[in-house]
Structure formats: structure tokens, C-alpha cells
Structure 1
Amino acid sequence: MSALAVVLALTFVWIGLIVGLSFIEAPVKFQAPGITLALGLGIGRLVFRVLHAVQVAIVVVVAVCLALGAGAGIPVPAVAGLVLAILMLIGQLALVQPRLTRRSNAVLAGEDAPRSRAHHAYVALELLKLVGLLVGGIALLAHLVALAD
């Protein structure tokens, strides 16, 4: 499998992770009977800690593949989409997640912490990341199909 095919596959795996965990699992878990805010936050922290680690691993593998020559000739929309996704992940991890962690720490400690707008920022960055991945993935797929012809 070529390095470019690995980048393509990881792009679509990343899309699946975001849709499945951020947009399906995260909101649905709070609708389960007996789930309290503290329990939902505890579960969410574990799930998102693993999700973030997997996303960082994907970024590292994609960067290595591109550095090893798969990046030559990749269409600009593919590069732009992947760069957007990576920047949104960095923003989530560096700017938003620490605020969300402080709030969840307070709630789990039994404090009556006010709702945070950081969650909305996280979702907005997640949507932008998803758009970047879709643009990048579709452009990469079209590029690989064109190379195969």
C-alpha cells in the first residue's frame, strides 16, 4: 500500500471517529436512563482522552507518510483540508480542552460549576475539522483515482 493510500485511509478513519464519538456517542450518552451529569462527564473524559490520543497518532502517521514523499503532487485542496483538520485539533487540545477539563474537574468534585461556552467552541472546531477532513479526503480520493487511470 502506498503512503498516499495510507493517508487516504487514515483520513476516512478519522472522519468515522469524529462522527461516531463526537456527534453520536457524546450527546446520546446523556439520554441514557440513570446517567447523571457527573457520570456522563466521567465517561466523556475517558472517551475523549483516548480519542485525542488516537487523533494525535493519526496526525503523526499522516505527517510521516507525507514527509516520506507521499506529499509530492497532492492537490492543494487535499493539503488545505488536512492542514485545517490538524490546526483545529491543535486548537481543541491547546485552547479549549483545558477549559473543559477545569469545568469537569469542578463538577466531579461536587462543585456547582456554571455551564461553559468552551463546549460550543469545541464543537465548532470539531465541525471545521470534519469539513477539512471531508475536503481533504475527497480530494485525495479523486487524486488517487486519477493516478490509477
Structure 2
Amino acid sequence: MNHTSAAVAAAATFVWLGMVLAISFLEAPLKFRAPGVTVPIGLGIGRLVFRALNAAEAVLAAVVIGTVVIAAVVIGSPPTIVVVLTAVAAAVLVIQLVLVRPPLNRRSDRVLAGEDPARTRSRAHLWYVALEIVKVLSLAALGWVLQAV
């Protein structure tokens, strides 16, 4: 990778990291503490926010992957650690979108339809959070490695 491609990938990586940290670890838990926000209202807001976050993540992942692939084709292979960390972050996002979000959406559908939130507990939320932690760690490491390239 050359300096320019590494800088573009690093910038996209750090924007992606910042968005995940701000939404998943700041906005999501805080919204339920705001006065007057019920579980159904919080879930409705959360669905909209996470749909937008995931769309932005997909775009940023495409930028990072595209930059790494273009650098590999045009300039030569990027460091293995860059490829591995990019793959981990992208794979986690895909797992979240394909395997974890559907059960979360079904649960929120039931709560929004009037079912008691306490009766619709799901382990999917714990999986989502665990995957967010893996994604944050891989993005932080990827951004750091890209700055050193």
C-alpha cells in the first residue's frame, strides 16, 4: 500500500469506528434514560438509528475494502495484518446484519405490537454487543496499522 491509499483507508476506518462508538456505546444506552422514553419508543428510535448506522457502515466498509483491494492490484499486496483486520471488521458487520439483526427486529416488532418487553428477552442483543466489541477492537487496530503503513 502507498501512503495515499493507506490514508484513505485509515480515514474511513476511523470514521466507521467513531460512528460505532457514538451510536452503540453512547446513544443506544442513554436514550432509555431520557425522561419519558418508554421501551417501545426507545426501540422505535433504535431501529431507525441502527438502520442508518448499518447503512453508513456498509458504505465505509466498501470504501475500506475497495481501497485495500485497489492498493493490492495497482501497487502490490498490502500487509497481511491489514487484510486480516479488514476481513474481521467486514465479517462481523455481515454477521450482525444477516444473523443477529433479524431476531432483534422480530423482538422489537413484538414489543411495538404491545407484547411485554420482559417476556420477549433475547440473547441476540448480547451477541450484537459482543460483536460490536470485536468490531471496535478490529477497527481500532486497523486504523492504527494503516497509519503506520
* TM-score normalised per structure 1: 0.90
Contact 2:107–2:122 at 8 Å: present in 1 too?
yes
Aligned partners of 1:75 and 1:33: how far apart in 2? 49
- Output one character per residue of 1:18-73: Cα deviation in whole Å (capped at 9) or x when no partner: 11000000001100011100000000000000000000011112222222225734
Tell me: higher relative CO, structure 1 or 2? Use CA pairs within 8 A at least 6 residues apart: 2
- For the residue of structure 1 that corresponds to 2:71, the secondary structure is helix
Aligned to 1:22: 24
Q: Which runs of structure 2 are paired with 1:49-60 in the superposition (5 Å)?
A: 49-60=51-62
2:70 and 2:27 map into 1 onto residues whose CA distance is 35
| Structure 1 partner of 2:44 | 42
Kindly report the root-mean-square deviation, in angstroms, between the aligned alpha carbons of the 2 structures.
Answer: 1.5
Residue 116 of structure 1 aligns to a residue in which SS? Answer: coil
Q: 1:83 aligns with which of 80, 87, 96?
A: 87
CA apart distance, 1:75: 2.3
Deviates more, 1:130-139 or 1:110-119: 110-119
Secondary structure of the equivalent of 2:120? coil
Measured in 2, the distance between the counterparts of 1:135 and 1:12 equals 10
Q: Return the alpha-carbon distance in structure 1 between the equivalents of residues 94 and 41 of structure 2.
A: 27
Check conservation: 1:75, 1:139, Cα contact below 8 A.
no
- Alignment correspondent of 1:147: none
TM-score by length of 2: 0.90
| 1:3–1:142 CA distance, 2 compared to 1 (3 A) | closer
**Percent identity between the two aligned chains:** 48
Name the count of aligned residue pairs: 143
**SS, match of residue 104 in structure 2:** helix
Which residue is equivalent to 1:114?
120
Measured in 2, the distance between the counterparts of 1:90 and 1:129 equals: 11
Structure 1: gaps (5+ residues): 144-149
1:82 CA displacement: 1.5
d(CA) in 2 for partners of 1:134, 1:39: 32
1:127 to 104, 125, 133: 133
What SS does structure 2 have at the residue aligned with 1:110? coil
Counterparts of 1:70 and 1:19 in 2: how far apart (Å)?
A: 29
Q: Runs of 5+ in structure 2 lacking a partner?
A: none
Q: Is 2:139 the partner of 1:137?
A: no
- Is the 2:71–2:77 contact (alpha carbons within 8 Å) kept by the matching residues of 1? no
